[in-house]
Structures are given as structure tokens and as C-alpha cells.
């Protein structure tokens, strides 16, 4: 039983993970990151899970790595930090991951949101990388993913000043795809997750892989990967089923084959 998060199965095919350390605005401890990694591994190997939504509370998605825990770690502790393995699990997760963000998404919390494929934010959400105020810098993608998401000028401003941006600014910059009223953020994210969960799983998986590849490769290599994935899908039963269902004017029944 995880202690720092709650997991709900929402039919069909969606898991909702809610971070639950309200006393510390969902600050990310080693335990929380480990429990999150365990849940993602479980979701990864469950054939009936097609998408995952991750969220926090109304006040905070997550206010960063737990600073009190950080205070206890010396350099050696940081280098062989078990949290690194948890972040790797997040990076490797190959099913669709949607973050529903209300309140603070700061430091490691912003980096956690950026591990998601889609971010839906409540109007009151604040995204920031305040590590510079602690004499450190982002360490879980907050320079690399942030720059790719919002561009150089905004990323420099956020990381070098530590000042957060609003949900609307995050949307204008491309970090967030939709802004909702805070009470509907999770509902909207679940709606998107359900929509994805009805698609052909192999197509979703390869499309995600190809889109992520676009962030770190040249155009020619990306196009090669895209063509390869497209060709692979041409041999699937779900492709036949999708086309037949269109012609027969019915909903496709995908099986993941
Ligand atoms: C531990 C935290 C915390 C954190 C908040 N709390 N953030 N505890 N680690 N990151 C705790 C507070 O100490 C407080 O506990 C309680 O949560 C409520 O927070 P308040 O500060 O009272 O709330 P508020 O005044 O509304 O201010 C909210 C806040 C502020 C602006 C988010 O808490 C804040 O600045 N937090 C730190 C944000 C930060 O610097 N994050 C980056 C961390 S470094 P008590 O017991 O006093 O009630 C990082 C590196 C990632 O993330 C590296 C990845 C490899």
C-alpha cells in the first residue's frame, strides 16, 4: 500500500495517481518518488491500463524535491541517490502520461509535470524552477525539457530568476496544452486519457515514441523513425480493424495486435 499517493482505476483503461503529502505541499521525498515509480511500473506491465493521469492537490501539484530531505544528503548521497532510479522509470514510461496541475508545480514538481506527455493546468497553477534560490539548479530535466517546451528566453528567465510563471503564460509558451477552471482540471485530463485509451495501443505507443524523438533528433532521423513506425503499424490487426470500422460506419474494437 503506497503511503504518499492514492491510485484509482477508472474504467476503461485509465489509472489516476494522486500525490498525497499535503503537509508539505506534495514535496517529493525518496519514498514518494519510489512509490510513484512502483505504480508506473505496475501500470506499464498491466495490459488493461492504456493511460495514466497524475495529479496533486488544489494547492500544489508538487512544490519540488523535499528540501528537508535534501538537507540531510551530502554529495556522495546525491550521486548514488535512489531517486535517480525513480526519475529514470518516469523517463522510460511508454504509455501516455497526463499531468493535471493545480497550484504550485515548482522545482522537481515542475520537472515531474514535464515528464508527462500532456499537461492540463488549472487557472491558478504556477510553474517554476526556483532551485537557484537554494544555490543549486534543476536536476531532473528542468533545463533540458523546459527549454524545449518554452524556448530559450522564457527558460533562461525562469531558471535564472527562479520566478514562477502563471498557467496562462505556460500555455502561451507551449508548456501546457489547456487551461481549465481548477475544479475541472482532473476531469478534463481524465477525459483526454479516456479518449486515448480507446485508440489502438500499438499506434499510441509508437506515436508517442516518434513525437518524443522529435525533441532530440535531427529531422532526417526523425522522419526515418516515423516511416519505420508507420510501416510497422501497417502490419497490425488494429490497422485493418480501424479501416474496416470506418467503412462499416461503426466504432473500431481494437485489441492491441
Ligand atoms: C519541503 C516544503 C516544500 C519543499 C513546501 N514545504 N515546499 N517542505 N520541501 N519543497 C512545506 C513548508 O515547509 C510548510 O511546512 C508547508 O509545506 C506549507 O508551505 P508554506 O511555505 O507554509 O506555504 P506557502 O506560504 O503557501 O508557500 C508555498 C511555496 C513555498 C511558495 C510553494 O512553500 C516554497 O517556496 N516552497 C519551496 C519551493 C522550492 O524551492 N522548490 C524547489 C525545491 S528544490 P510547515 O511544516 O512549515 O508547515 C528541487 C530540486 C529538484 O525541487 C531536483 C531534482 C533532481
Domains delineated in the chain: 5-197 (3.90.226.10), 201-247 (1.10.12.10)
Beta carbons of 99 and 112 less than 8 angstroms apart: yes
Ligand 1 atom at shortest distance from the alpha carbon of 134: 40
Burial of residue 126 (number of CB atoms within 10 Å: 0-12, 13-18, 19+): buried
CB under 8 Å to 12, separation ≥6 — which residues? Answer: 50, 194, 197, 198
Matching residue, cell 504556477: 126
Residue 108 annotated in active site: yes
| 231/222 Cα distance (integer angstroms) | 14
What's the pLDDT at 74?
66
| 101/169 Cα distance (integer angstroms) | 14
| 118/104 Cα distance (integer angstroms) | 17
What's the pLDDT at 55?
98
What's the pLDDT at 12?
83
Pocket test for ligand 1, best of 63, 109, 144 (most atoms within 8 A of CB): 63
Q: Is the CB of 131 under 6 A from ligand 1?
A: yes
Beta carbons of 129 and 114 less than 8 angstroms apart: no
- Closest C-alpha among 41, 59, 48, 45 to residue 14: 48
Catalytic pick from 13, 56, 108, 122?
108
Which three cell numbers, joined as nine digits, stand for 44? Answer: 506499464
Predicted TM-score of the model (pTM): 0.96
Residue 131 annotated in active site: yes
| 104/112 Cα distance (integer angstroms) | 12
What's the pLDDT at 77?
56
Beta carbons of 55 and 98 less than 8 angstroms apart: no
CB under 8 Å to 94, separation ≥6 — which residues? Answer: 44, 205, 208, 209
Residue 123: in which H helix or E strand, if any? none
Q: Give me the residues of the chain with pLDDT under 70, please.
A: 74-80
Instruction: Determine if the peptide bond prior to 222 is cis (ω within 30°).
Output: no
Query: Greatest CA separation found in the chain?
Result: 64
Residue 34 annotated in active site: no
What's the pLDDT at 3?
92
Compute how many other C-beta atoms are within 10 angstroms of the C-beta atom of residue 202. Answer: 20
Amino acid at each position: 500500500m503506497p503511503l504518499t499517493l492514492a491510485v484509482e482505476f477508472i474504467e476503461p483503461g485509465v489509472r489516476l495517481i494522486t500525490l498525497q503529502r499535503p503537509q508539505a505541499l506534495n514535496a517529493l521525498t525518496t519514498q514518494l518518488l519510489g512509490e510513484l515509480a512502483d505504480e508506473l511500473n505496475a501500470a506499464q506491465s498491466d495490459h488493461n491500463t492504456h493511460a495514466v493521469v497524475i495529479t496533486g492537490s488544489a494547492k500544489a501539484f508538487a512544490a519540488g524535491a523535499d528540501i528537508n530531505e535534501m538537507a540531510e544528503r551530502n554529495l556522495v548521497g546525491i550521486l548514488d541517490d535512489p531517486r535517480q532510479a525513480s526519475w529514470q522509470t518516469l523517463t522510460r514510461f511508454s504509455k501516455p502520461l497526463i499531468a493535471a496541475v493545480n497550484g504550485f508545480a515548482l522545482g522537481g514538481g515542475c520537472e515531474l509535470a514535464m515528464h508527462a506527455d500532456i499537461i492540463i493546468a488549472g487557472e491558478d497553477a504556477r510553474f517554476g524552477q526556483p532551485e537557484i534560490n537554494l544555490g543549486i539548479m534543476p536536476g531532473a530535466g528542468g533545463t533540458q525539457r523546459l527549454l524545449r517546451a518554452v524556448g530559450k528566453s522564457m527558460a533562461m528567465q525562469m531558471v535564472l530568476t527562479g520566478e514562477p510563471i502563471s498557467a496562462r503564460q505556460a500555455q502561451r509558451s507551449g508548456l501546457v496544452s489547456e487551461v481549465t477552471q481548477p475544479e475541472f482540471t482532473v476531469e478534463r485530463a481524465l477525459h483526454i486519457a479516456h479518449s486515448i485509451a480507446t485508440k489502438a495501443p500499438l499506434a499510441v505507443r509508437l506515436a508517442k515514441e516518434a513525437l518524443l524523438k522529435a525533441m532530440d533528433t535531427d529531422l532526417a532521423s526523425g522522419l526515418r523513425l516515423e516511416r519505420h513506425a508507420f510501416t510497422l503499424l501497417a502490419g497490425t490487426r488494429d490497422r485493418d480493424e480501424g479501416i474496416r470500422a470506418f467503412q462499416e460506419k461503426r466504432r473500431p474494437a481494437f485489441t492491441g495486435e
